[in-house]
Amino acid sequence: MALNWPSKSPNELLDYQINWSAELVTDTVTSSSWTISDASLVEDHATTGPQTATIWLKNGTPNNTYTVTNTIMTAGGRTFVQAVNIKVVSPS
């Protein structure tokens, strides 16, 4: 099931994070990749922490909802996938 992040406008560059600590317990993230459902919402850059994955998003088309999916690999050899919806709103 997809989660929901707070909305953003096309003019904003904002960071969004998935905290994997509940799933990982003592395991750690070794790699993280992101996919976005439409190319109009753009990944500016991404970072990972021991139990988090963060993506910085820019652009997007107002009134569109995008699905951003994070896939991580762990030191223990596990793979986790989480989809998150984000709505782009008109600039105020």
**How does DSSP assign 8-55, residue by residue?**
B-TT--EEEEEE-HHHHTT--EEEEEEEESSTTEEEEEEEE-SSEEEE
Give the pLDDT of residue 2: 86
Q: What is the CATH number of the domain that holds 17?
A: 2.60.40.10
Give the pLDDT of residue 88: 98
Hey, what amino acid is at 45? H
Give the residue numbers spanning the domain of 43. 3-88
Residue found by looking up tokens 């600590």 in the block = 21
- Tally the domains of the chain: 1
Tokens of 31: 């790699």
Identify the DSSP state of 63: T
Q: Are strands 14-19 and 3-4 parallel, antiparallel or unpaired?
A: unpaired
Please, which pLDDT band fits residue 20 given cuts at 50, 70 and 90? very high
Give the pLDDT of residue 74: 98
Give the pLDDT of residue 1: 77
Give the pLDDT of residue 90: 95
